[in-house]
Structure 1
Amino acid sequence: MTVNDSATATEPARRRRRSGLAPLLIVGALLAAMVAVALTALSAEDRYAVALLPDPGALTGYGIAAVRVITDIGAVLCIGSLLFAAFLVPPKTSGVLTIDGYAAVRTAMWSAVVWFAGALASIPFTIADALGRPVEDLDPSLVVEFTGALEQAKAWLITAGIALVIAVAARFVVSWGWTTTLFLLAVVGLLPVAVTGHSSSGGQHDLATNSLLYHLVAAALWGGGLVALLAHGRRRGDHVDLAARRFSMLALACWLTLAVSGVINALVRVRLDDLFDTPYGLLVLGKIAALAVLGAIGAYHRERSLREITTSGSASALVRMAAVEVLIMLGTIGLAVALSRTPPPQEVAAQLSNVELLIGYTLDGPPTFLRLLFDWRFDLVYGTAAIVAGVAYLLGVRRLRKRGDAWPVGRTIAWTLGCLTILIATSSGIGRYAPAMFSVHMTSHMLLSMLAPVLLVLGGPVTLALRALPAAGKDAPPGPREWLLAAVHSPVSRALTHPIVALALFVGSFFALYFSGLFDSALNYHWAHLAMNAHFLLAGYVFYWPVIGVDPAPRRLPHLARLGLVFASMPFHAFFGVILMSKQTVIGELFYRGLTLPWVPDLLADQRLGGGIAWASGEIPLLVVVITLLAQWIRADERDARRLDRREEVTGDADLEAYNEMLRKLAGPKK
């Protein structure tokens, strides 16, 4: 980020930013707010009756829906504008944003301001709604008190903080790297409210929350990216054809994701026979209809608008149809808000056990060997990620083979086994029982942090991607290959792969998570389980990547330093397992006792079993890593020796003669 670049880009951006979108967005926002308020009124009585709360009045009941609509629109526009600046239009060769990218970032800044203001305004409305009291009667001290007590209010506060950071940073950002960082932060800003809504509680809340995460991110990328593309077309920016092609592929993926995740979320919350005779079911049908219309318009774009842009360079058809699509999409946001304010039919009459309330589903009995292997519950986040990663890798290998390039079979096997390990750790009986028993949780933890990363780094995914993806070419807009290279060589990658940082994350997080009380608090939230699994995988990957990874790491360590790093980590893992086995208090006792599982009468014994699993399963992979590292060291020495031999064949004894000559000069003249 440089002030000079920002100053030079400001005036042109202001001249070209007048795209005439403001009236369209205002009309769309009003439409969405009216849809949300009107449809919320249909189920207001049911909502408060289910919660056994008095009706807080029209201002609270309808105001919270209207504020939520405005907040969601601000979030969608912010994310879409940053997506556009980072990936849909190319930056300059120096990495500085072009005028079009800078205009999108400025739009993101103002959208983040709206997002921030809406998130702050949502806090008192959320508290009033939860207490069944009119928002206008809330005392400020009560708002402060319940902001820290209510999870939804706390989530809005976190969201407001993220939006504020984006709004301030976007004022100064002019580089591609920082724009990408802000985009990722904006996507993260969607998560706090999503993981604390009604999908995060009750039966099947693991499936409901996971599907909702996919749904929200896909909707934000599609809706926000569409508005940004429309603004770009109306101001006749550069590279409209490139931006339209890239967005078309993204929109198709988002549409499919919305369809699948929406169906899963609906099936969790409503039965098929409730679709036509309950307010919740009718709203679901309305979203399905809107999604179908949007999909049809998107298909038209791919068939007609892209062809027109490619042949004539005109974006008029894109602008006309995108305006209609934006209005429908903003109306769909109103439908979604109304849906989030409507209690599902199953929630009204649900009688759930403690196990269902706490982990989202039932367990059929003790975790026998057969149950751990075959009692599967597919994890929509990590199970899907494992399958997609495996398929993408095999497609990359296929592309290399089709053009006659070789790829080691061992790397393919390692990557496939790594993806299979993630699938088993999260979706098999191990993943099903992990939230309920500490010993099974530790088994999943070891698979994700100790085994899966070892196999994944041996697969060399970055090297495969760099060979399979086409290079952009000189003076051509950067594409996925260049984005990947930028990520590998980014300051974040260099910082994470620093030996001290990687070691601290890998071994220090064990102690910080389980012995600080953090794990006790995390047990109550599904999102915390998702975050823990992500941390286990990433911490293991950034540790093993510079140690035995096939891919070139941002920091290249000599083999002796790699070996020392592995040996340095081994005592910590053994010590961690010994502490767990000897600990006299139960970690997460309140949560585990609340489950009242009859086959776990002694929680301390189960914890000691988990400690033994951590000790045994932690040392074995490290020994395998040491053996692998020594084998790589030997092969590297052999390659160096062969290279020296080949050089000597070309140069003869030139190096030896030069060395002897240096010794003679040092010895001085003979007397």
Structure 2
Amino acid sequence: MGWPGWGVLLTTWRPSWVVDVLVLVAALAYAAGVRRAARAGEPWPLGRTAAFGAALAGLVVTFDSGVAVYGHDSFGVHMIMHLMLIMVVPALWVAGGPLELARRVGSPRVRVLVDSLAGRIGRAVFHPATVFVVYTLVVVLTHLTTFMQAMAGSPALHHLEQVLYLGAGLLFFATALGADATPSRPSFLGRFALMMLAMGVDTLVGVVLLLAPRTPFPAYELADVRVGGAIMWAGGDALMMLLIVVLARWWVRAAGQGPELGPWLESARRSALGLAPDRDGDVDGDVDRDEDALAAYNRMLARLHQGGR
């Protein structure tokens, strides 16, 4: 089956009861957390609530619309499902901050569970290298191997693939966006680099499929495979660039609260001012709000002034 057309995708709807029930439960739990935060005098940001609601709406569209109906038989539609599950829904979900909300207003048991992510295993799982490797392996192995052909004849593998996309996306953007209560939050420069590397993976796979001389998956026509490659290349890069722009806005906003340059550059700033690292060798302290740092900066200016004279 080839590309069914946008009109068919937008007008074909079929409920997926399991997903719909899970979405409803998540919505009720999140709404209860927001209400509890308001009662505690700590209103939850409206933007985060809107992002989480959009993530849930994205799940409904992915599993109830023509994307789900034709996503198994059409490679192009399958690629739309891929982007929804590995990029759109995870990015919105992370921006909604459900873990941070649970940490603030959850029961003691829930808070302990969230805080347990800061352990050694959690730091390893959410490490930038780990999330990039997982993202790369999922994207490459499901599109440039025989997995896609096997998936075309197996609904069970199709559902497994959906879980892999969603899991890899949540893991990746929890670290790349750094907007939720995860143990690994790289500097903004590190997050930009992580997103650019992931965009390179999407581009590579999309271009390979778009320029394929013959269909790599006999279950799908060559024209359909090329449509899927174009969607992955153009759509994936466009979505990642949009997220990079959002991250840049967060960086500009954070600049008003002090620069976030990363441990190495922050260490260089402290060394230039003649300051030792923070206690325990930590260099994450805010130099611009450190009284010793300000005094050292004034002494450095005085030395430069004396040298100029």
User: TM-score normalised by the shorter chain: which range applies?
Assistant: 0.7 to 0.9
The alignment-based identity, stated in percent, is 30
Task: Give the Cα–Cα distance (whole angstroms) in 2 for the partners of residues 638 and 397 of structure 1.
Answer: 27
* Contact 1:547–1:629 (CA under 8 A) maintained in structure 2: no
Within the candidate set 237, 241, 256, 1:619 is matched to 237
* Contact 1:376–1:427 (CA under 8 A) maintained in structure 2: yes
1:621 shift after superposition: 1.3
Choose between structure 1 and 2 for higher RCO, CA contacts under 8 A separated by at least 6 residues.
2
1:419 aligns with 2:56: yes
- Aligned ranges 1:66-215 → 2 under 5 Å: none
Task: Give the Cα–Cα distance (whole angstroms) in 2 for the partners of residues 464 and 440 of structure 1.
Answer: 34
Question: Structure 1 pair 656/583, CA: closer, same or farther in 2 (3 Å)?
Answer: closer
Deviation track 1:386-428 (CA, whole Å, cap 9, x = no partner) reads 3322222122112212333211111011111111111111221
Amino acid at match of 2:151: A
* Contact 1:566–1:626 (CA under 8 A) maintained in structure 2: yes
1:376 aligns with 2:6: no
Amino acid at match of 2:205: F
* Contact 2:3–2:77 (CA under 8 A) maintained in structure 1: no
Within the candidate set 113, 129, 132, 1:483 is matched to 113
Task: Give the Cα–Cα distance (whole angstroms) in 2 for the partners of residues 523 and 571 of structure 1.
Answer: 26
Tell me which residue corresponds to 2:177. Answer: 548
Tell me which residue corresponds to 1:435. Answer: 72
SS of the residue 2:13 aligns to = coil
- Aligned ranges 1:71-470 → 2 under 5 Å: 367-470=4-107
* TM-score, structure 2 normalization: 0.81
Task: Give the Cα–Cα distance (whole angstroms) in 2 for the partners of residues 366 and 631 of structure 1.
Answer: 37
Question: Structure 1 pair 662/535, CA: closer, same or farther in 2 (3 Å)?
Answer: same
1:518 shift after superposition: 1.4
Query: What number of residue pairs does the alignment pair up?
Result: 278
* Contact 2:59–2:89 (CA under 8 A) maintained in structure 1: yes
* Contact 2:174–2:180 (CA under 8 A) maintained in structure 1: yes
Within the candidate set 586, 589, 593, 2:215 is matched to 586
Task: Give the Cα–Cα distance (whole angstroms) in 2 for the partners of residues 644 and 564 of structure 1.
Answer: 23
Task: Give the Cα–Cα distance (whole angstroms) in 1 for the partners of residues 240 and 193 of structure 2.
Answer: 12
Q: Whose Rg is larger?
A: 1
Question: Structure 1 pair 405/587, CA: closer, same or farther in 2 (3 Å)?
Answer: same
Task: Give the Cα–Cα distance (whole angstroms) in 2 for the partners of residues 391 and 559 of structure 1.
Answer: 33
Q: Give 4+ residue runs of structure 1 displaced > 4 Å after superposition.
A: 643-648, 658-665
1:540 shift after superposition: 1.1
Amino acid at match of 2:112: E
Task: Give the Cα–Cα distance (whole angstroms) in 1 for the partners of residues 17 and 77 of structure 2.
Answer: 20
* Contact 1:514–1:587 (CA under 8 A) maintained in structure 2: no
1:661 shift after superposition: 5.7
Tell me which residue corresponds to 1:189. Answer: none
Question: Structure 1 pair 467/657, CA: closer, same or farther in 2 (3 Å)?
Answer: closer
* Contact 2:151–2:157 (CA under 8 A) maintained in structure 1: yes
- Aligned ranges 1:565-604 → 2 under 5 Å: 565-589=194-218, 591-592=219-220, 603-604=221-222
Deviation track 1:293-343 (CA, whole Å, cap 9, x = no partner) reads xxxxxxxxxxxxxxxxxxxxxxxxxxxxxxxxxxxxxxxxxxxxxxxxxxx
* Contact 1:548–1:628 (CA under 8 A) maintained in structure 2: no
Task: Give the Cα–Cα distance (whole angstroms) in 1 for the partners of residues 124 and 288 of structure 2.
Answer: 37
Task: Give the Cα–Cα distance (whole angstroms) in 1 for the partners of residues 17 and 215 of structure 2.
Answer: 30
Question: Structure 1 pair 437/663, CA: closer, same or farther in 2 (3 Å)?
Answer: closer
1:524 shift after superposition: 2.3
Tell me which residue corresponds to 2:132. Answer: 503
Tell me which residue corresponds to 1:636. Answer: 254
Tell me which residue corresponds to 2:277. Answer: none
SS of the residue 1:554 aligns to = coil
Tell me which residue corresponds to 2:270. Answer: none
Task: Give the Cα–Cα distance (whole angstroms) in 1 for the partners of residues 160 and 119 of structure 2.
Answer: 23
* Contact 2:178–2:185 (CA under 8 A) maintained in structure 1: no
* TM-score, structure 1 normalization: 0.39
Deviation track 1:421-441 (CA, whole Å, cap 9, x = no partner) reads 111112211111101111111
Within the candidate set 225, 241, 260, 1:607 is matched to 225
Task: Give the Cα–Cα distance (whole angstroms) in 2 for the partners of residues 371 and 468 of structure 1.
Answer: 43
Task: Give the Cα–Cα distance (whole angstroms) in 2 for the partners of residues 627 and 554 of structure 1.
Answer: 23
1:455 shift after superposition: 0.7
1:468 shift after superposition: 1.8
Tell me which residue corresponds to 2:154. Answer: 525
Deviation track 1:112-158 (CA, whole Å, cap 9, x = no partner) reads xxxxxxxxxxxxxxxxxxxxxxxxxxxxxxxxxxxxxxxxxxxxxxx
1:366 shift after superposition: 7.6
Task: Give the Cα–Cα distance (whole angstroms) in 2 for the partners of residues 483 and 410 of structure 1.
Answer: 25
Deviation track 1:545-570 (CA, whole Å, cap 9, x = no partner) reads 12213213212211111111112222
1:647 shift after superposition: 5.2
Task: Give the Cα–Cα distance (whole angstroms) in 1 for the partners of residues 168 and 142 of structure 2.
Answer: 13
Question: Structure 1 pair 422/656, CA: closer, same or farther in 2 (3 Å)?
Answer: closer
SS of the residue 2:242 aligns to = helix
Gaps of 5+ in 1: 1-354, 356-364, 472-478, 593-602, 666-671
Task: Give the Cα–Cα distance (whole angstroms) in 2 for the partners of residues 645 and 587 of structure 1.
Answer: 55
1:375 shift after superposition: 1.8
1:636 shift after superposition: 1.9
SS of the residue 2:9 aligns to = helix
1:586 shift after superposition: 2.4
* Contact 2:103–2:111 (CA under 8 A) maintained in structure 1: yes
RMSD: 2.8
